[in-house]
Amino acid sequence: MRTQVGIVGSGPAGLLLSQLLHRKGIETVVLEQRSQDYVLGRVRAGVMEQGTVRLLDEAGVGARLHREGLIHEGIEIAFSGRRHRIDFKALANGVVTVYGQTEITRDLMEARAAAGGKVLYEADVIGVEGFDGDKPRLRYRHQGVEQVLECDFIAGCDGYHGICRQSVPPGAIEIFERVYPFGWLGLLTQTRPPAEELIYAAHANGFALASMRSRTISRSYIQVGIDEKAENWSDQRFWDEFRLRIGEEAAAELQTGPAIEKSIAFARSFVAAPMRFGRLFLAGDAAHIVPPTGAKGLNLAASDVRYLSLALIEHYDSKSNAGLDAYSDACLRRIWKAERFSWWMTNLLHRFPETGAFGAQMQLAELDYLVQSKAAATALAENYIGLPY
């Protein structure tokens, strides 16, 4: 089989790239190791920057998002028993949209199916080859048969553990990484969120976040130790700790219920550079991971796809490789700013083993400065709604 762009991974990055290229007449084949049901079953973030929403509109998949997504004009920061609102609209003239990543994936799947797009599920890529020359190819196993996909370019959208980055010679790539000594224990419940917008809470016991997927589905998180296991936390134990950390006002509005899904996501900052190796391009989690505090993971994947789709369209339309040559540097400039913001938010709100009494006072001073200073609040708002591409 042959195509113009071979895409490894059918998460939002891979499907969005396929859809954007399709709308410009560029052929793609998407290879996904897992089943379609598995991909749709993954619970992920759901806070989208304005640029991500515009890109989904450009891809023709924004209709349900605009009907069902929740527009948030700010967030709340809770500490020392009080909540403080950061007003995105007033400070940075922007908003974010809450819409589950699973729903984005579903919308993209339906769009690719309606267009007759080639997406092969349970297609295990076992070889990423020839990308240092002019005949890249993907060897994969599908329905028990080993096959080859020849293409002009390969897009590695296959996540942190995927084969694409692992296929790059070690000397050609540099890894920057910080593994944090905690994770987020999250519960998904069919309950009304305790507030209209997200609440980020700093507490002596650790961080907590009151988030949501809709007006009737809540996603609640608490910081836990690196060695914790989700099964050690009963629903009751979780809610007792969450109430304590989120503050009395939010706790009074809290609806609790049995967990639909319960899991721990461990936090890390990770960047692989560069993101281009001949005719292989990395995008999304294959190239970078952020701690979830700043809501940047999905949005960074979308910005990578924007740069890569424009570069590939330019290549096929005008035979120019300028965008392809600039791809890695353009992505990394934005990635490092998002990494900085997520790192800052994480350090501001979480308790680290080394925090101590002095560190705790520094966090409180920083939080107090943030909510009292228009300049500091504006910087948070600008980064949260998304820096320009």
Active site residues: 72, 200, 292, 296, 384
Q: What is the DSSP string of 1-51?
A: -B-SEEEE--SHHHHHHHHHHHTTT--EEEEESS-HHHHHH-----EE-HH
β-pairing, 218-225 vs 208-212, is antiparallel
Report the alpha-carbon distance of residue 77 to residue 90 in Å, rounded.
16
Is-contact 221 208, C-beta < 8 A? Answer: yes
Dihedral over Cα of 243, 244, 245, 248: its sign: positive
Inter-residue contact 88 to 384 (CB < 8 Å): yes
Nearest CA to 105 out of 23, 219, 11 is that of 11
Do the Cβ atoms of 174 and 272 come closer than 8 Å?
A: yes
Contact 144, 35 (CB under 8 A): no
- Give CA–CA dist 282/9, Å, rounded: 11
Phi-psi category of 41—alpha, beta or left, where left has phi over 0 and alpha has psi -120 to 50? Answer: alpha
Q: Cα separation of 229 and 63, whole Å? A: 39
Residues 261, 268: Cα–Cα separation, whole Å: 22
C-beta neighbour count of 270 within 10 angstroms: 17
For residue 78, what are its two tokens? 């809770």
Angle between helices 297-318 and 50-58 (to 10 degrees): 40
Bridge partners, 309 (sequence order): none
Three-point CA angle 180, 183, 184, nearest 5°: 140
Q: Which residue has the tokens 């020392």?
A: 80
Q: Distances in Å between the alpha carbon of 136 and those of 13, 154, 169?
A: 20, 7, 15
